Amino acid sequence: MRMFNRICMYSASLFLLALSATAHSEDSAVNTMNPYDMVEAVANNTFARFHQDIDIIKTNPDHLKLIVSDELMPYIDYKYASYKVMGIHLKATTKDQRERFVKAFQGYLVSTYAQAFTEYTDQHVRFAPGKDFSGEKMVDVNVDLIEPGRPAIKLMFKVRRLKDGSWKAFDLVAEGVSLLASKSSEISNLIRQKGIDSVILELEQRNKGHISDKTTGDKL
């Protein structure tokens, strides 16, 4: 599970750092009917909330979980991602197991993204121009994460169209490595070795952990 956690933490950090660099001082309305506008608006709102609640975070870093739950997770298709992660094991699970896994995986993402906030150090981001998506079911939002003195990091947010025409993000590709594919490989191996119930319990246990206090100090 430790390798799985390291992959997720690194990619989640890139995800939030990329979003952070587009943040404005005021909240933006989220247009979920446009995948490019959605990513930028979610970025603005998430980090506006982050800076608004900075004093609370300093005394209670776990407040970051609430921010992620409120501002970020409504635009992440965690159910779709959960099913993709279970892969070939999905058909062998019961409805109860699937529901428990989705809930545990959602909590895992919340904890992972919340911890990733502690790595924020004012990086900058450059979004590629949006393209015509009228006939697409999935689109890629390309991003360069820029930090002085280092090569730009190439990111790609994968976003899918839902049945109602709205869009949600479900994967991040960092320098050609898919977060979802990496997690799918790790989770699939764990399910094969330990069974779905053990993996659910392991995720649930991890979700009970606290966010470290790296958020105190200059990084805010």
Q: What is the pTM of this model?
A: 0.82
Instruction: Give me the pLDDT at residue 41, please.
Output: 83
User: DSSP 3-state assignment of 84?
Assistant: helix
Each of the 220 residues of the chain gets a pLDDT tens digit; together they read: 444 444 455 556 566 666 655 544 455 789 999 999 998 888 778 878 888 998 999 999 999 999 999 999 999 999 999 999 999 999 999 999 999 999 999 999 898 888 877 766 556 777 788 999 999 999 998 888 787 888 888 888 899 999 999 999 999 888 888 888 888 888 889 999 999 999 999 999 999 999 986 544 333 3
Ordered DSSP codes for 172-196: EEETTEEHHHHHHHHHHHHHHHH-H
Ranges assigned E (strand) in 19-137: 124-127
Dihedral sign of CA atoms 105, 106, 111, 113 in order:
positive
Instruction: Give me the pLDDT at residue 208, please.
Output: 92
How many Å apart are CA 160 and CA 164, to the nearest integer? 11
How many Å apart are CA 3 and CA 152, to the nearest integer? 25
The structure tokens 């895992």 sit at 108
